[in-house]
Every structure is written in structure tokens, then in C-alpha cells.
Copies of this chain bind each other. A is one copy, B any other.
Amino acid sequence: MGVAGLTFEDNINRKIEFVNRSLCEYFTKEENYQKKIYEAMEYSLFSGGKRVRPVLALAAAELFGQEESVMPFACALEMIHTYSLIHDDLPCMDNDELRRGRLTNHIVFGEAMAVLAGDALLTRAFEVVLKHSRLSPQQMIKGLAVLAEAAGTEGMIGGQVIDMECEGRAVGKDVLRAMHLHKTGALIIAAVRLGVIAGNGDSEDDWRLSAYARNLGLAFQIKDDILDVEGNTELLGKKTGMDEENRKTTFVSLYGLEQSKKMLEEYTQKAIEQIMFYGEKSEFLKEYAYFLLKRDN
């Protein structure tokens, strides 16, 4: 999987295709009494996600010449991300009917099946790693621990709980930051850490890449908040203005639009600084930070 000479565009498209191909390969399904659950899982897993987390895992591993070996973990991250979206969209949570321009899982398959499809994708994430990873048992265990912690109550789920607890309350800057560092940040940080583990990087690498991802994760969320105000519904695949309608505290509501845009630039810049150490090899991670900054969906 040489990447020399590829433009950024070609490289990212190649990575996304590689991820999609691997997801297809790992996502085995059965023709049995419970086949409906596979349809529901598949529907959301292959609905045109940006594959941010797997792409970051691949890019981090690539720093150590190890892109391919992180793939089962990369796909596991995408499955966990997808399950969290399915559960987030449920009527008792955000009650969303549209996601990426398509009907949400529970609208198509019903609430009960959507709950189970989410549960199943979370479970399948671990199954995929255990079945397909060719890393050493020690690396696998280290990676699984990173994955589980990032998905759990001190990671992504913790962020969702903070989000819920904040509903209808005045939220301070510290809480907003903590929420997003957990809700979006945890899996993004896990992605690059898994790349370091697959690449046998050391604790300095882990530190640098984690710092990159922490800043990137905040930038990512700020961009999301900006898009909800300034974005194009069609490009986004969902309604804009929802944060204001739901009276959600966002970076834009707390800092204003101009200041938020400045912060977006700053966090992106800070992310990039963390990986300068890797020189030319960090080119993709650098370009990717700008790519996420400029995205329109």
C-alpha cells in the first residue's frame, strides 16, 4: 500500500475505499431467522459516512509503515460510531428522522430493531477485532482496552450523558469542552492511539498523536456547530438550525460565530503543531486537518 506520489484527494479516497471494502469483508451476515438485524445494521453502516475515525487510524498507523494492520480496529471504530448515531437518533434521545440525507434507522426498521441494531454493532465491533486482527495478542489486548474505554462511560457514552444532563440548562465553557472531548473526542483520540499501537509506536508517539487528535476533535465539533448555523441543508443531509431550535449550548451560542471560526482555525493549527515532529510523513494528517476544517458536511 505505497502512498508516495498520491495527491491528498487520491490518498483520502483510496483510504475511504479501503475502509469500505474492509467493512464489507468483515460484515458477514447470515440467512437465518434473525436476518432482519443484519439489514438494519447494514443500512446504517453503509450510508455514506465520512469514515473520519478509520481514516485517522489508518493515517496514524501509516506513520509507522503499518496501515493495513490497524484495519480491524479502524472498522471497529466505525461500527461503534454508527451504533452511537442509531441510538442517538431514537425518539427518546434526539428524535431525528433524517441522517446523511436518509431516514434514520428507527424510522425504517422500527424502534425495537434500532435499539438492537445499535447493540449489535457495538458487539460486532469487538467481534471484528477478535476475528480479523493479526496483531500480537499483547497489541490486541492493549488496543481493545483503548477501544472499550473510549466507547464507555469515561469516553463517548460519558459525553452523551453530559449532553443529556445539560439539556435545558445554562452550560459553561468547561462543561461544553468536557462534553465534546468525551462525545466526539474519545473515539477520534482512540483512532490515532490504535494506529500507534498497530505501528508499535512508543509513549511519545502516543502522546503526540493523542494531542493532535484532541485538538482535531474540538475543531471538528466547532465546525459542526458552525455548519448547523451556516451550512447548506442539502449538502449536510440534515436540517440546519436544529441547535438553536433545541436550545442547545454550542460553541457558536457560547462564543459567537466569529470567535468560533477563529477557534476552529486555532485548534486546527494546534493539532498540526503536535505532529510536525514527523516531518514529511505527517503530510496526510496535516492536510486532513485542513480538509475537516473546510468540509461542508
On whether the beta carbons of B130 and A34 are closer than 8 Å, the reply is no
The yes or no answer to A214 lying at the interface (CB within 8 A) is no
Main secondary structure of the interface of A (DSSP, over half): helix
Chain B residues with Cβ below 8 Å from A123 are 122, 148, 151-153, 157
Q: Please, how many angstroms separate the alpha-carbon atoms of A110 and B145 in the complex?
A: 29
A33 and B130 contact, CB distance less than 8 A: no
- In the complex, the answer to whether A92 meets B111 with C-beta atoms within 8 Å is yes
Q: A119, B34: Cβ atoms under 8 Å?
A: no
* Interface positions of A from 82 to 131, Cβ below 8 Å from B: 83, 87, 90, 92-93, 110-113, 115-116, 118-120, 122-124, 126-127, 130-131
Whether A130 lies near B119 (C-beta < 8 A) is no
Contacts of A118 in B (CB 8 A): 119
- Residues A141 and B149 in contact in the complex (CB < 8 Å), given A157-B37, A164-B113: no
Which of A36, A123, A136, A178 gathers the greatest number of chain B CB atoms within 10 Å?
A: A123
Contacts of A178 in B (CB 8 A): 33
Whether A124 contacts B152 by the Cβ 8 Å rule is yes
Contact-size category for A: 35 or more
Instruction: Report the minimum CB–CB distance from A77 to chain B (whole Å).
Output: 13
Contact: B165 with A119, CB < 8 Å?
no
Taking the closest CB of chain B, its distance from the CB of A133, in whole angstroms, is 9
What B residues does A179 contact at CB under 8 A? Answer: 33
- Shortest C-beta distance, A255 to chain B (Å), equals 20
List residues of chain B with CB within 8 A of the CB of A120: 152-153, 157
Contact between B122 and A119, CB atoms less than 8 A apart: yes
Cβ contact of A137, chosen from B93, B138, B151, cutoff 8 A: B138
A152 to B: closest C-beta gap in Å: 4
B-chain residues with CB within 8 Å of residue A152 when the two chains form the complex: 120, 123-124, 127
Interface presence of A290 (CB below 8 A): no
- Let me know if A257 is at the binding interface, CB within 8 A: no
Distance, CA A83 to CA B120, complexed state (A): 12
| Nearest CB of B to A185, in Å | 14
| Contacting residues, chain B, for A87 (C-beta < 8 A) | 115-116, 119
Given A34-B182, A123-B152, A137-B141: 20 more A-B contacts, CB < 8 Å = A33-B165, A33-B178, A34-B158, A34-B165, A36-B161, A37-B153, A37-B161, A38-B153, A87-B119, A92-B110, A92-B115, A116-B157, A123-B153, A123-B157, A124-B152, A124-B153, A126-B144, A127-B148, A130-B144, A137-B138
What would 19 A/B residue contacts be, using CB atoms closer than 8 Å? A34-B153, A34-B157, A34-B159, A36-B161, A36-B165, A87-B119, A90-B112, A92-B110, A92-B115, A93-B112, A113-B164, A123-B151, A127-B148, A127-B149, A130-B141, A130-B148, A131-B145, A136-B137, A137-B138
